[in-house]
A and B are shown apart, each in its own frame.
Chain A
Amino acid sequence: MSRIGVAFDKARADGRAVLVGCMPAGFPTVEGSIAAMKAMVEAGVAVIEVEIPYSDPVMDGPVIQRASDIALAGGVRTADTLRIIEAVAATGAQVVTMTYWNPIERYGVDAFARDLAAAGGTGLITPDLIPDEADEWLAASDAYGLDRTFLVSPSSTDARLRMTVEHCRGFVYATAVMGVTGARAQTSQAAPILVSRLREVTDLPVGVGLGVGTGTQAGTVAGYADGVIVGSALVRCVLDAPDESAGLAALRTLSAELADGVRNPVR
């Protein structure tokens, strides 16, 4: 039983992919991040990925690092993230949380799962937690009915792909390139190969992330994946804007372009 599965089922029925848009919680402020996420929802982003800012984000490129630093410098706390999730979930959008592991361990794994479920979050994407170390999270996510998205990579062996998808619920996150988050000029050659390897071992929806930043790229990825995950390109809209309203306007424009892309898969 998956919380986020509904979004993927609906998209599948409509012949499109799910657009997942990422934004760090508390960037540029707590209220500012809620406004940004709501703008993304209104412009057609189906699933909001709320990233808990962390001091040492090793899977993130410079754009999300900077946004996370700004959020932390502004004093955002893990409890604020839960409040943001609640506010965004109240719009009817699906909310998934992306987090490095230490903030969750510090909060208490079971307590966080309980509070996340209560806030209306669907589950966690865990970039530095692999199933091998996840016993506590497996138990807590079962207890509160939360989804678990682990990452797979072009370098994952077939055995690890199989093991990882067995521990996922909701969807699996395929990292399109060997590298960190950040928009790239060209879409990945490795991603379609990784997705077809995943199709051999699972019926789970597959989300593809890392490097997608335009509507055209979103359409290309939607041609072979069930979900298109965009982070840095959206964050940059806010980061580069001269003021809040310009940031929201840029965010709406890009979100609409990406939403258009996933509705027109290039097959």
Chain B
Amino acid sequence: MSADAPAGQLPDAAGHFGRFGGRFVPEALVAALDELDAAYRKAMTDDEFLAEFDALLRDYAGTPSLLYAARRFSTEVGARVLLKREDLNHTGAHKVRNVLGQALLTRRMGKTRVIAETGAGQHGVATATAAALFDLECVVYMGEVDTERQALNVARMRMLGATVVPVTTGSRTLKDAMNEAMRDWVANVDNTHYLIGTAAGPHPFPEMVRDFVRGIGVEARQQCLDLTGGLPDAVAACVGGGSNALGIFHAFVPDAGVRLYGFEAGGEGVETGRHAASITGGSAGVLHGTRTYVLQDEDGQTIESHSISAGLDYPGVGPEHAWLHDSGRATYQPVTDDEAMAAFELLCRTEGIIPAIESAHALAGARRIAPQLAAELGREPVIVVNLSGRGDKDVHTAGEYFGILDKE
């Protein structure tokens, strides 16, 4: 939290980013959201809170993360690619920044219990980690389908002392886990904080989560200046709910010369209907407490999303991304499962880094835009890619995809 947010930026006081954002929630939650909003605003101007958060990020999470010039990968894609190594953080992704911030706030609000939703289990593991560190009771809601796909992460959460509740309603995936967490919160809001895992949900979550992760971009901007003597030509990130992308974009938003690219999960191709590209293939609507781009049918019923990456497999997106898209400040494009897996393999083979499949979408996107930028600029472009997480959790999925698992 070393750099203050630029003045005059969105959202407004009620959490609106243009026509997006806001609060579409049961009245029962309004008091808790107001309490959270007040606690968060007070914390962001409280030196003691900021010092404690900074110390945790440095001593526990291992930030600032490195900005690494990936030379062999760069040669392959035709751009100077700088990787923001969020995969090296404790728990293996950018998400630790958000959970530490919210866990600190939970304690300040005097609440003793945190709940979370999780898809692949990464946010659940991060929340369980922070709950262990802060001695908070922790309940994680996870779609029954996902508990079966991600048994190892279920075990991780239990080792850390969390209770994992398999959700058997609806499609039994991430969106239903989020519904169930909302229901728990409505009933237990007195002692419970809902630790939302991305920059989505009702106000103040999108703004608050962004502010807890925006250090990624603040660090990357300075590191790029130190390393190259200038700002990058483009910043690339994957977008599911969108916290890692906002985290790295936000500090660059005022830099008009820096292009911002968000790469959504195109699944089997947006034209097939089997994807998770809410901005490219969805429409404006209300989901999980906010107005944003949503995958929905003609009657406003949520359509199930599809992606090889469980972390991007969500039918909505944070409202600030919806606004960045409408305003034209950021460009959003879909990346298919196959494109992402090709970039995954390329990074493994050229750099010895196994990325999260989520982050592989950003790598594939950088690979796509590199020749376009080079042609436009007449020189080798500099692209900062947010390597938001490591691929340990994806070894099984990737092994199956590439057909390299030995048969038993």
Contact = CB atoms under 8 A, between A and B. Distances in A.
Nearest to A129: B24
A179 interface: yes
Contacts of A92: none
B182 A58 contact: yes
Interface stretch (A32-40, A139-147, A156-164): A156-164
Interface stretch (B27-35, B59-67, B220-228, B230-238): B27-35
Nearest to A53: B301
Given A55-B170, A58-B182, A62-B169, A102 B23 contact: no
A221 to B, nearest CB: 18
Contacts of B299: 77-78, 103, 106-107
Interface in B171-224: 175-176, 179, 182-183, 186-190
Contacts of A180: 183, 186-187
Contact of B28 (A69, A104, A175): A175
B399 interface: no
A151 B22 CA distance: 18
Contact of A153 (B27, B176, B286, B300): B27
A153 B187 CA distance: 11
A179 to B, nearest CB: 4
Nearest to B316: A56
B26 interface: yes
A103 B27 contact: no
A153 B301 contact: no
B25 interface: yes
Nearest to A173: B27
Contact of B300 (A103, A152, A157): A103
A156 B30 contact: yes
Interface string B132-167: 000000000000000000000000000000000000
B275 to A, nearest CB: 18
A256 interface: no
A106 B30 CA distance: 24
A54 B28 CA distance: 20
B27 to A, nearest CB: 5
A72 B299 CA distance: 11
A107 B301 CA distance: 11
B301 A103 contact: yes
A66 B170 CA distance: 8
Nearest to A66: B169
Contacts of A150: 27
A152 B187 CA distance: 14
B189 A178 contact: yes
B24 A55 contact: no
A65 interface: yes
Given A58-B183, A101-B286, A130 B30 contact: yes
A56 B31 contact: no
Interface residues of A, number: 42
B27 A160 contact: yes
A57 interface: yes
A258 B183 CA distance: 27
Nearest to A99: B300
Given A56-B179, A178-B187, A102 B26 contact: no
Nearest to B35: A155
B202 to A, nearest CB: 10
B169 A65 contact: yes
B188 to A, nearest CB: 8
A151 B27 contact: yes
Given A54-B301, A56-B287, A105-B285, A153 B179 contact: no
Which of A54, A103, A155 neighbours the largest number of chain B CB atoms within 10 Å of its CB?
A155
B187 A133 contact: no
B14 interface: yes
A127 interface: yes
A102 B285 contact: yes
Nearest to A179: B187
Contact of A56 (B22, B26, B175): B175
A110 interface: no
B294 interface: yes
Which of A101, A130, A156, A157 neighbours the largest number of chain B CB atoms within 10 Å of its CB?
A130
Contacts of A175: 26-28
Given A55-B301, A62-B169, A180-B183, A155 B23 contact: no
Given A58-B182, A59-B186, A179-B187, A105 B300 contact: yes
B408 interface: no
B386 interface: no
Interface in B1-57: 14, 22-28, 30-32
A72 B285 CA distance: 19
5 contacts: A58-B26, A78-B300, A132-B14, A150-B27, A157-B31
Given A102-B300, A179-B183, 19 more contacts: A56-B170, A56-B287, A57-B179, A58-B26, A58-B182, A58-B186, A58-B288, A72-B301, A102-B285, A103-B301, A104-B300, A106-B299, A107-B299, A128-B286, A130-B25, A152-B27, A175-B26, A178-B188, A178-B189
| 10 residue pairs, one from A and one from B, having the closest CB atoms | A106-B300, A153-B28, A179-B187, A103-B300, A102-B300, A155-B31, A58-B182, A55-B302, A55-B301, A102-B286
